[in-house]
Amino acid sequence: AQKITQTQPGMFVQEKEAVTLDCTYDTSDPSYGLFWYKQPSSGEMIFLIYQGSYDQQNATEGRYSLNFQKARKSANLVISASQLGDSAMYFCAMRGISWDSGGSNYKLTFGKGTLLTVNP
Amino acid sequence: ETGVTQTPRHLVMGMTNKKSLKCEQHLGHNAMYWYKQSAKKPLELMFVYNFKEQTENNSVPSRFSPECPNSSHLFLHLHTLQPEDSALYLCASSPEERDSQFFGPGTRLTVL
């Protein structure tokens, strides 16, 4: 079974500062993927960044970077130079693989999310 | 602008009503998903379709009935729902099941 844990229900950061959102995971799959999504108050989920379990380097996408520590099973999201528009819910998710007689199945498991508020 | 659209954006229905949620993706993806997001709970996967075939039914009650007539359209038919079914229902798509998913804006459903 897969599990994603986000221990920070809410975080506050000053505009232009960096912030780290925590995510730890648990899985027995040898290969997996880790994702971060942003959900503004409008409701839609916006894909931010992806890290594969065998990727040698930490993923970066603009102001977003993923601090992947495989041994510690953590995949923290770092947002640099926070902007007011970054205020939203942030979800960490893991894609795992399950196998049955029908073949392989991919499943995305989400954490409970962290509400980030950027203060001016 | 998102490549995944959902209609309606808001829906209020009684427990005896029958309604349908619609999802359409213009990204050429082969896999489509329905998720339920309730307050203070993690996002829950409901159904997965790959090439129009249902590949996952995550123990969803039969009052939710999905339909995928083609790779671009996904419906969720609702009937005799309960107040606890009130939630945000999100549709997503991905090129294949293993790929990053792109979400629609969601339908906010309220069951009275």
| Beta carbons of B112 and B13 less than 8 angstroms apart | yes
Interface-testing mutation among B43, B47, B88, B94, with chain A (most A C-beta atoms within 10 A): B43
Q: Which chain A positions have a beta carbon within 8 Å of B106's beta carbon?
A: 43-44
In this prediction, residue B1 has a pLDDT band, given cuts at 50, 70 and 90, of: very low
Give B13-35 pLDDT, tens digit per residue. 998 889 999 999 989 999 999 99
DSSP chain B: --SEEEE-SEEEE-TT-EEEEEEEE-S--SEEEEEEE-TTS--EEEEEEETTEEEEE-S--TTEEEEEEETTEEEEEEES--GGG-EEEEEEEESSTTSPPEE---EEEEE-
Residues of B with Cβ-Cβ distance to A46 under 8 angstroms: 103
Which residues make Cβ contacts (< 8 Å) with residue B70, sequence separation at least 6? B52
Contact B103 A50 (CB under 8 A): no
Predicted confidence at residue B2, as pLDDT, reads 58
- CA B87, B90, B92 angle in degrees (round to 5)? 165
- pLDDT above 80 for B98: no
pLDDT at B57: 75
Taking contacts as CB-CB distances below 8 angstroms, the residues of chain B near A109 are 42
Please report the pLDDT score of residue B30 as a whole number: 92
Residue A97 to residue A70: CA distance in whole angstroms: 18
Residues in chain A whose Cβ is within 8 Å of chain B: 4, 33, 35, 37, 42-47, 50, 91, 93, 95, 97, 105-113
Q: Chunked in runs of 10, what are the mean pLDDT values of chain A (120 residues)?
A: 91 97 92 92 89 90 96 97 97 78 68 96
SS3 string of chain A? CCEEECCCCEEEEECCCCEEECCEEECCCCCCEEEEEEECCCCCCEEEEEEECCCCCCCEECCEEEEEECCCCEEEEEECCCCHHHCEEEEEEEEEEEEECCEEEEEEEECCCEEEEEEC
pLDDT tens digits for range B60-90: 999 999 999 988 999 999 999 999 999 999 9
Q: How many CB pairs (< 8 A) connect A and B?
A: 47
CB B35 within 8 A of CB B90: yes
Instruction: Work out the percent of chain B whose per-residue pLDDT is above 70.
Output: 98
Instruction: Indicate the pLDDT class of residue B39, thresholds 50, 70 and 90.
Output: confident
Contact A105 B40 (CB under 8 A): no
CB pair distance less than 8 Å for B56 and A107 = yes
At A8, the amino acid letter reads Q
Q: Return phi, psi of residue A65, to 5°.
A: -140, 150
Q: Which residues of B touch A33 (CB under 8 A)?
A: 98
- Calculate mean pLDDT across residues B80-109: 91
Write down the mean pLDDT value for chain B. Answer: 90
Residue of chain A with shortest Cα separation from B96: A106
Q: How far is A105 from chain B (nearest CA, A)?
A: 8
The more confident residue out of B85 and B41 is B85
